[in-house]
């Protein structure tokens, strides 16, 4: 397991090596294959998860069956904490979009870790605040930006987590199908495909299977504004 990645997670950030090791020992490992569902929206939840390796999408389904993706998370990120801090059903469905390894912490263990450790609680509050900020930005994007702008923003956001520099650009292996990318930006697949094709024609990016290579990040940033 990649310890450095786990130590970046907000849950571990305020702990010294010894405490981090002890916390780690109380957590259970879960392995998921691509497309496997960890939990469904509406189920009771009593466990939060930290991603060690792989990727997880968090999505919601409307009454008429349409899907919307709230986020795509990668190594070092945490999810599943809402139903612990505010007891209630799971707010979204969590599905692996690549082979994924997680470690999970149950409610009772979390409560005992938080008591007497204000540093850990502060880190978790910081993570929740960052998520609220990002959610507000996505909401404003949905209202104020056109689809190409939202696609550009989503790809840049994914590049911060999954981008790897290559000779000709930043390769972002997002592992999303075009349908899932459309669900992430809240638009139809056709409109998202058109936006992507336009970016390709302008030489701003190159499409690969479940990945893009960003060739002109400055132009993409301007388009995302």
Binding site for ligand CMP (CB under 6 A): 45, 58, 70-71, 79-83, 90-92, 131, 135
Contacts of 190 (CB under 8 A, 6+ apart): none
Task: Kindly state the smallest distance separating residue 41's Cβ from ligand CMP, in Å.
Answer: 7
User: Judged by CB, which is closer to ligand CMP: 40, or 166?
Assistant: 40
Compute the least distance from the CB of residue 70 to ligand CMP, in Å.
4
State the maximum Cα–Cα separation within the chain, in Å, rounded to a whole number: 57
What are the Cα distances from residue 12, in Å, to 29, 101, 148? 16, 17, 37
Nearest alpha-carbon partner for 111 in 131, 84, 90: 84
Provide the 3-class DSSP secondary structure of residue 139: helix
Q: What are phi and psi of 165, to 5 degrees?
A: -60, 140
Compare residues 71 and 147 and give the one whose CB is closer to ligand CMP: 71
Q: Which two tokens mark 168?
A: 């000709």
CA distance 156 to 171: 11
Report, in Å, the least distance between residue 45 CB and ligand CMP: 4
Smallest distance from the beta carbon of 194 to ligand CMP, in angstroms?
A: 26
Residue closer to ligand CMP by CB (options 98, 205) is 98
CB of 95 to ligand CMP, least distance (A): 11
Shorter beta-carbon distance to ligand CMP: residue 45 or 75 = 45
Nearer to ligand CMP, 45 or 148 (CB): 45
Q: Is 141 exposed, middle or buried (0-12, 13-18, 19+ CB in 10 A)?
A: middle
């Amino acid at each position: 397991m990649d310890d450095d990645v786990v130590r970046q997670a907000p849950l571990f950030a305020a702990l010294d090596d010894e405490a981090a090791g002890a916390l780690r020992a109380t957590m259970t490992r879960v392995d998921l294959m691509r497309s496997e569902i960890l939990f469904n929206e509406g189920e009771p939840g009593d466990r939060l998860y930290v991603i060690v390796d792989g990727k997880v999408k968090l999505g919601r389904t409307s009454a008429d069956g349409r899907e919307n993706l709230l986020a795509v998370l990668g190594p070092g990120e945490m999810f599943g904490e809402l139903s612990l801090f505010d007891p209630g059903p799971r707010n979204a469905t969590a599905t692996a979009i690549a082979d994924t390894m997680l470690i999970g912490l149950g409610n009772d263990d979390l409560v005992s870790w938080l008591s007497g450790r204000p540093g850990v609680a502060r880190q978790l509050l910081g993570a929740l605040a960052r998520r609220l900020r990002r959610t507000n930005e996505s909401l404003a994007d949905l209202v104020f930006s056109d689809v190409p702008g939202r696609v550009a923003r989503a790809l840049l956001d994914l590049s911060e987590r999954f981008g790897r520099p290559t000779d000709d650009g930043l390769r972002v292996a997002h592992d999303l199908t075009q349908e899932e990318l459309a669900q992430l930006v809240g638009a139809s697949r056709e409109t998202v495909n058109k936006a992507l094709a336009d970016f390709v024609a302008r030489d701003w990016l190159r499409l690969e299977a479940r990945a893009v290579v960003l060739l002109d990040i400055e132009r993409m940033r301007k388009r995302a504004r």
